[in-house]
Amino acid sequence: MQEGDDLIECVGCKVVFLFGGGEKAFFEEKGLSEPKRCAPCRRTRKEGRQRAANPVYEERDEVGDCDM
Ligand SMILES: [Zn+2]
């Protein structure tokens, strides 16, 4: 751990991860606040958002009862 590095507890999986170095510099450069989640959780959420943005609808055969 180097000076300026932060230890952050992931709100997702409660793992304490190190946030610092190039990653921290990247976030500061972009004007972003510290991440609340560890890298694996962020990746999972990102993938989840992409799935939500492009939902794959399963085509189902409508089995309708023709009582009329
Ligand atoms: Zn996590």
* Every domain of the chain and the residues it spans: 6-53
Amino acid 56: pLDDT = 66
Band of pLDDT at residue 50, cut at 50, 70 and 90: confident
Amino acid 30: pLDDT = 96
pTM: 0.64
Among 45, 13, 8, CA closest to 27 = 8
**What's the 49 CA to ligand 1 centre distance in angstroms?**
16
**What's the 19 CA to ligand 1 centre distance in angstroms?**
12
**What's the 58 CA to ligand 1 centre distance in angstroms?**
30
Structure tokens at 23: 């990653």
**What's the 59 CA to ligand 1 centre distance in angstroms?**
34
Amino acid 67: pLDDT = 64
Phi, psi of 35 (to 5 degrees): -70, 150
Residue range 4-32: average pLDDT? 94
Residue range 10-36: average pLDDT? 94
Quick check: helix, strand or coil at residue 16? Answer: strand
